[in-house]
Structure 1
Amino acid sequence: MSRIVILTGAGISAESGIRTFRASDGLWEDHRIEEVATPEGFLRDSALVHQFYNARRAAARAAQPNAAHLALAELEADPHHTVLIVTQNVDDLHERAGSQNVIHMHGTLVGALCHDCGHRWPAPEVMTQGDLCPACARAATRPDIVWFGEMPYQMDQIVRALEAADLFVSIGTSGNVYPAAGFVRDAAMAGVQTLELNLEPSAGTDMFDTARHGPATQVVPAWVRAQLAQRR
C-alpha cells in the first residue's frame, strides 16, 4: 500500500476556468486583498466581502472538474494507494470529481461560518450581511474561508500525514504561500519522496526530488497512469 499526500493549489483548477489567487500588483479580482481577505476587511465592510465571495461561489459552481481532478479521484479509488488531498483551493472540484479524502486547509466556498461563535453550516448560494447564525442568532455570518492572519485548518492532521507518507506530491502551487510552501521541506526531513507537478518551476522546485512541468490536465493524468501501471 502506497501512502500519498497530494497538495493542490490554484494551478489545478485554472484549466476549469477558476481564476488564480492574485496578481503581482496585490489585487485579487480587482479588489485589494485587505478589503476582501482579512477579518478586518470583513468587520469594516461585510457587504463588500459577501458580494465578492458570492461571485466566487457562483463561478466555482459553474466550473467543472478537469482531467487532473478526475485523475486524482481515480488514483484514490485504486486499492493499492492511500491518498490524502490537501488543497489550498476553496472550490469543491476535487469532491465533484469523486475524491473523498480531502482537507480544505484554507476553507471552502460551500461552507458558512459564524464570526462570533464559530458555528459552521452549509452556505447558501447567496450570503448577505444580514444572515443570522443558526446557533447564536447573531448577524455575523461569513464565508468559511481562512483569511490572511488566520490559521489554516487541520494542520496537525496534515503534518501527521506528511510524516507517515511514502510520497508527497505538489500540484499547481506557486511555492510562495506558507505554511503549505513548507510541506516539501517537512516531507523531506521525514524521509518522504517528493514530486512537483506544475505548469512551471515553483519558488521551491529545487527542494523536490523530481519535478515535471506542463499543464495540470496533461502532467497529472500522465503521472497517475504511471502510478496505476506499476500495480498491474
Structure 2
Amino acid sequence: MEATLIQLAITNGPYVIILGIIFFWSKSLIQFTFSRDIEEKKSELSKKEEDYKATLARENQNFTHQLNQNLEAHKNKLDLMKQESQIQFSHLHLERAGVIRDLYAHLVELHGAMVDFTRTMHWVKEDVDKEESARVDRFNQAFSTFKNFYLPKKLYLDKGIAAQLDEILEKYWSEAYDFDLAKRMLKMGRDTKESYTIQMDKLNAISERVVKDFPLIISQIEDEFRKILGAKV
C-alpha cells in the first residue's frame, strides 16, 4: 500500500501526500483507541473477576462458619442425648439388678421349700401333722411370693430367661400338686400293698426330679442373671 501511495504522490502531488498523512494518522488513532478500549475492558473484566472471587470467598467463609455452628450445635445435641441415654440405661440397669436380686432370693426360697415339701421322709420333732402342715404352708407362701413378684417384673427380663422362669414356675406347681395328690391317695390306699407301692413310687420320682432336675434349670437361670449383671459366668 505504501508503494501505491508513493506512486500516487509522484503523479498527483502534495494533495495525495496530505491524504496519506491523514490516513496514517487516522489508522494510528484507531489502533490506539482500539488498544486502549481492549486494555480497559481487560482491566474491567479482571476487576469483576477479582470481585467475584472475593464474593465467593466471603460466601464460602460464611457458609463454612454457619456449617461449623450447625455441626457444633448438632454435636452438642447428640452428646446431650447420649448422656440422657446413658443415665436412663444406668437407671434401668440398677432397676434390673434390684429385680434380679430379689427374684433370685425368692427362687432360692421356693426351691428350698419345694425340696422340704417333697421329701418322702422327715425327722419328727414334736407333732407330725403340724410339721407337715408347716411344710405345706411354707411352699404355698414361697410359691405365691415368687409368682406375685415375678409376673409383674417379666418386662425387665429377656424372653429367654422369662421362658425358663415360666417353665420352672409351672414345674414347681405341677410337681407339688402331684406330690400332694399322691400323698392323699397313699393315705387312702394303705389297705392294699399294690396301691401303696404305686403312690410311693410316684412320691419318690417327684422327690428325685426336684432334687436332680430343678437345680439344672436354676443353674442356667443363674448364668443368665450373671451375664446381665456383668459378672463372670
TM-score exceeds 0.5: no
Structure number with bigger Rg = 2
- Normalising by structure 2, report the TM-score: 0.30
Question: Which of the two has greater helix per residue?
Answer: 2
Q: What TM-score does the superposition give when structure 1 sets the normalisation length?
A: 0.30
Of Structure 1 and Structure 2, the greater strand share is in 1
